[in-house]
Structure 1
Amino acid sequence: MYVRFDADNREGKVLLHWLSELEERDKGGRAELRRAASIQQALMCPAFHRLRRRLEALSPEWTDYLQSPYRQDRLAAACALMVHVRSPGAYDLPHAMSQRALGDERNRVSELRFRRLLDAPDDEALFSGLRRAMPMISDQVDPLKVAEAMLHWGDRLKREWAYAYAWPDKKQA
């Protein structure tokens, strides 16, 4: 099962409703997820389990998909990252990281930091790196794309990110 989150599909609507519910009625749950410094801490947040149960209720395929502990871990990580998005933007992660502030010549996320994300040896390192990058891009990134990236992280997505990131030109000596 390849998961796509879109504002127009069931999964995307569930995710966006969950996010708005956290913002409007469960600020404590949102804060708890924002403070999660590891995937394990995100797994212990009731707000994550609410979303997991809602996704499982969508279809038997979702129930099967989330039987895998590593997929649950990735969904928990996605939850803890999505709550850092202050005002949803239109970009996926590599494009948001490539954006430049008005008048600035540097990407929001440096080339070195981006390389470290691509070289993350495991999900925990990826989560930690993305968590540190979120404050720099939280007004540019689409939370649904954050969830997709976390759920589908692997060599194919790393390659897509490497092509999508706006690598800075090296200055000539």
Structure 2
Amino acid sequence: MSDGSIILGWWARELGDRRSAAARGLAARLRRAGPVDALAERAVHDLARSLNLRDGERLAFLVRLLAEVREHEARPLARALGGAEPLMSELRFQRLMRAEGDELPGALRRAITLADRRCNVARLGGDLLYWGEEVRRRWCFDYYGVEAPQTVSEEISE
């Protein structure tokens, strides 16, 4: 099972059904939580165990942002933000792609909100888990609605 599938399953069980008081409560606590407060939730450790993830900072980053999503859909977040009639301006998207450190979670939170809190949870979760240059490059192609090319190393080996 892929990390994205594990994350989607966890999100669906713990946060996805907002009619449930438990899901609403956990989502609210995670949205307001600092990193340590997020790690004080049993459900968060269930996800960590499933992913075999021992990096508390990365885990807190992941769950605090997943708590912002209210509805799973097929479109990745970057594709929902961009396209022919973008929800997020190019300038703001460029700032998001450059964001690092303490400013990154806030920028991603605003992006999720702009997308009406709907996106592909599995893809978002995997992207957050492995956030880095490769993910940022793919987001750029998704934002402009273009299929991402193969990596240079794959092209050389063919």
Q: Given that residues 70 and 118 in structure 2 are in contact (C-alpha distance below 8 angstroms), is that contact kept between their aligned partners in structure 1?
A: no
Match in the other structure for 2:155: none
| Structure 1: distance between partners of 2:143 and 2:5 | 28
Match in the other structure for 1:84: 68
Q: Given that residues 93 and 146 in structure 1 are in contact (C-alpha distance below 8 angstroms), is that contact kept between their aligned partners in structure 2?
A: yes
SS of 1:26's equivalent in the other structure is helix
Q: Deviations over 1:30-75 (max 9, x none)?
A: 2211223x5444334333222112333xxxxxxxxx23x3xx3223
Q: 1:97 aligns with which of 74, 81, 99?
A: 81
Aligned length: 140
Instruction: Give the partner amino acid of 1:119.
Output: R
Match in the other structure for 1:152: 130
Match in the other structure for 2:121: 143
| Structure 2: distance between partners of 1:130 and 1:45 | 22
Instruction: Give the partner amino acid of 2:47.
Output: L
Q: 1:17 aligns with which of 6, 9, 18?
A: 9
* Per-residue deviation, 1:99: 4.9
Gaps of 5+ in 2: 146-158
Match in the other structure for 2:42: 46
Q: Deviations over 1:69-128 (max 9, x none)?
A: 3xx32232222222222221111221121157xxxxx41122222111111122x32111
Gaps of 5+ in 1: 1-8, 57-65, 101-105, 168-173
- Does residue 117 (structure 1) correspond to residue 96 (structure 2)? The answer is yes
Q: Given that residues 33 and 79 in structure 1 are in contact (C-alpha distance below 8 angstroms), is that contact kept between their aligned partners in structure 2?
A: yes
Q: Given that residues 33 and 80 in structure 1 are in contact (C-alpha distance below 8 angstroms), is that contact kept between their aligned partners in structure 2?
A: yes
Q: Given that residues 3 and 126 in structure 2 are in contact (C-alpha distance below 8 angstroms), is that contact kept between their aligned partners in structure 1?
A: no
**Cα-Cα RMSD:** 2.5
TM-score by length of 1: 0.67
| Structure 2: distance between partners of 1:137 and 1:118 | 16
Residues 50 and 121 (structure 1), Cα distance of their counterparts in 2 relative to 1, 3 Å cut: same
Residues 107 and 54 (structure 1), Cα distance of their counterparts in 2 relative to 1, 3 Å cut: same
